[in-house]
Chain A
Amino acid sequence: MALLDVQELQTYFHTEYGLVKAADKVTFHVNEGEIIGLVGESGCGKSVSILSVMRLIPSPPGETVGGKVIFEGKDLLKYQPNGREMRAIRGSKLTMIFQEPMTSLNPVLTVSRQLTETLELHLDMDKRAARERAIELLRMVGVPDAPRRIDDYPHQFSGGMRQRVMIAMALSCNPAVIFADEPTTAVDVTTQAQLLELMKDLVTRLNTSLVIVTHNLGVVARYAERIYVMYAGRIIESGRSEDIFGHPRHPYTVGLLNSVPRLGERHGTRKLIPIYGLPPNLINMPQTCAFLPRCTEKIGKCEKEPWPELRAVGDDHYISCYVDIKGK
C-alpha cells in the first residue's frame, strides 16, 4: 500500500479570462522511504498538484473539485482546508520546502523561534527541549556553529544556508512525506549539489519519502526512483527513472530530453532538437491532447479523440498518448 495515494486530483482556477484546469486528473503515489520526481515546465500544474495535496490552494480563485488524496487511510480532501485535522497533518506529517527560502521564512523572527514553534505546536515539547532539538536539526542539515547561529535572523544566512534551515524545518516533526517545490532553483549549481546530496542522505537515514518538484530533468535523474512528467495540468508519462530517461515513450518527454544540451558533447557535434511552438495557454483548453499542436508524431486519431487516459506500456510505465514511439 502506498503511503500517499493521490487519485484523479482536479484543481481548477476561476480567472477573469476563463476556467483554468491547473491540475486535471492528476494521479500519483508515494511509497514509504521513496524519492519521486514531478517534472514539468512552468505552469504545467506540478506545484498546484502538491499544494492541493497540502490543501494550500487559495480559494477563491482556486478550488479542488475532485479526486482523492489518501494518506494513512483517510481522504485529506474530505477535511476542511484549515480545519483541525488538516492543520495537525500539515507541517508535521506532510511538510514542504519552497523554492525561495527568503520569502517562506519569516524575516522578523529568529530561526530559533520559527523552528521551535512547530516543535512546540506539533510535538508538545517544552521550550528547552524544543531548542535543543532545533539545534540538533540545524547540525543535521550542516549549519556550522548551530548553537550560536540559531538566534540569527533569516537574512543573516546565505541562500544555501537558508535553504538548509528550510530543510531543518521540514524535517523537524519526523514527517512521512516532504514535498520539495523547486528546492534548488534559486541557488548555484555547487550549492545545489550540496543540498541535493544532503536531502538524499537525510531522507534515506530517516526513512522519509521525498517528492522533488522541478523543471530540471537532471536534478531528478540522479535521485528519484520514479518520475512523473506533467504537461498542461496532466501527468502524461510516469515510470521508473531508468525507463523515463532511457526509453521515454511520450513525444513530449522525448522532445524534452532531446532539447537539453548535455555535458560532454563536443561543441558543434549535435544540434539541439527543440520542441516547436509554445506551451499551451491553459484557459478554456480544447478537449484534445494539449501537446497536439507541438507534436511531431500525431496521427489522425489525436485530432478527433479526447485527451487519452494514462495507459500501461511496460512494467510500471504509463503514458497518456495514442501513439507509442517505442523505436526511439
Chain B
Amino acid sequence: MPENPVESKPDDAMGAIAAPPRRSEWRRFVRVFFGRKLYLIGFIIVAIIVFTAIFAPLLTSYNPEKNDLPARLQTPNAEHWLGTDQMGRDILCRIIYGTRVSLIIGFSAVFASTIAGTIMGLAAAHYGGWVFAVIMRVADVLMALPAIILMMLIAGMLKGGGIWIVVFALGFGGIAPMCRMMCGQALSVKQNDYVMAARAVGMSNWRIMWTQIFPNAYPPLIVGLTMGIGGVVLGEAGLSFLGIGVQAPTPSWGGMVMDGQRFLLTNPLLSLMPGLAIMLLVFGFNMVGDGVRDAIDPRLRGVI
C-alpha cells in the first residue's frame, strides 16, 4: 500500500482528516439577519423601544400619571411636544411610559404561554395515546374560541384589570397555538434516526425528550415567541380599548387610543400617536421574527 499522502499525525493511519474549516452558526445568523434591510429596520425599532422602556425616566421629566388640569388638551408646543390629554398629562411622556407596560405585558404573557404550551406539546407528542388526545382536544377547543372573546371572558371574570390579569388573559390565549406547534415539531423530530439511535444507546425517554427532541424542535418556538409579542401587545391594546385592560391612570397605549377617540376631531394626535406606537412595535417585532426565522432555518418560511 502506498504511503499515506495526507499530512499525517500518528493517528492518521485509518484515514482521519482534518474537518473542513469551521463555519460559525452565529456568524451566519448575523449575516442573514442583518443582510436584509427590512429585518435591520425591525431590529432598530425593537432596540429603540426596549431602550425607551428601560430609560423612560431619563427621557422625560413629566410624571405620566399626574394630572395637570389647567394644561389639558393642549396642541403640540415647545413644552408638550405632542400636546396633552384631557387630564393635562403629557402625551409623549405617557407613550414613553406606555412602552414599559406594553413590553412587560408582551414578554410576560408570551413567556408564560410558551412555557406552558411547550410542556403540554412535548408531553402530548411524547406520551401519545390518551394524553395526546386530551391535550390536543383541549387545545382545539381553546383555538376554536376567538382570542378576543376568550380574553374578555377571563378579564371580565377576574375583574379589576391590573397588569397581571391582562398578562394572564393574554398568556392563556397563547397556550393553544404554542402547544400545537410544539407538538407538531416534536412529532416530526421524533421520526429522526438519531432518536432511534438514542434509544438503542439505552437513554431513558425523559432524557431523549430533553436532549434529543427539544433542542431540535425549538427553533420555530423562538420565532413564534418573537412574533407573539407583537400579537400580545395588540391584544392588550384591544382589551384596554374596550376598557377591560390596564386601568387608568397607568399609561397604556390601548387605553390612550380609547381616551383620545372622544377628541378625534379636535385633537387627533391623542389617539393617533399611541396608535402609531402600537403599529411600530408590532411591525418591529414581526420583522425581527421574520429575520430570526430566516436566519435560524429558512425552511420554516411558510410554516410560521
Q: Could you list which residues of chain A lie within 8 angstroms of chain B, going by C-beta atoms?
A: 273-274, 276-278, 281, 293-298
Task: State whether A298 and B1 are in contact (beta carbons under 8 Å apart), knowing that A274-B15, A276-B15, A278-B17 are contacts in the complex.
Answer: no
Structural contact, A294 and B5, CB atoms closer than 8 A: yes
Interface presence of B6 (CB below 8 A): yes
Give the complex CA separation of A47 and B3 in angstroms: 33
Give the complex CA separation of A20 and B1 in angstroms: 33
- Measured between C-beta atoms, what is the minimum distance from A157 to chain B in Å? 25
Give the complex CA separation of A273 and B15 in angstroms: 11
Structural contact, A277 and B2, CB atoms closer than 8 A: no
Interface presence of B204 (CB below 8 A): no
Structural contact, A277 and B20, CB atoms closer than 8 A: no
Give the complex CA separation of A301 and B72 in angstroms: 89
14 additional contacts, CB 8 Å, given A276-B4, A296-B3?
A273-B1, A274-B15, A276-B15, A277-B6, A277-B15, A277-B17, A281-B20, A293-B5, A293-B6, A294-B5, A294-B6, A296-B2, A296-B5, A297-B2
- Measured between C-beta atoms, what is the minimum distance from B227 to chain A in Å? 26
Collect the chain B residues with CB atoms within 8 Å of residue A281's CB.
Answer: 20
Give the complex CA separation of A277 and B3 in angstroms: 13
Collect the chain B residues with CB atoms within 8 Å of residue A293's CB.
Answer: 5-6
Structural contact, B5 and A276, CB atoms closer than 8 A: yes
Collect the chain A residues with CB atoms within 8 Å of residue B5's CB.
Answer: 276, 293-296, 298
Give the complex CA separation of A147 and B3 in angstroms: 62
- Most chain A CB atoms below 10 A, which of B3, B5, B17, B20: B5
- Measured between C-beta atoms, what is the minimum distance from A209 to chain B in Å? 39
Collect the chain B residues with CB atoms within 8 Å of residue A296's CB.
Answer: 2-3, 5
- Measured between C-beta atoms, what is the minimum distance from A321 to chain B in Å? 15
Give the complex CA separation of A272 and B195 in angstroms: 33
- Measured between C-beta atoms, what is the minimum distance from B9 to chain A in Å? 13
22 A-B pairs with C-beta separation under 8 A: A273-B1, A274-B15, A276-B4, A276-B5, A276-B6, A276-B15, A276-B17, A277-B6, A277-B15, A277-B17, A278-B17, A281-B20, A293-B5, A293-B6, A294-B5, A294-B6, A295-B5, A296-B2, A296-B3, A296-B5, A297-B2, A298-B5
Identity of the chain B residue whose Cβ is nearest the Cβ of A274 in the assembled complex: B15
Identity of the chain A residue whose Cβ is nearest the Cβ of B8 in the assembled complex: A276
Identity of the chain B residue whose Cβ is nearest the Cβ of A281 in the assembled complex: B20
Identity of the chain A residue whose Cβ is nearest the Cβ of B35 in the assembled complex: A16
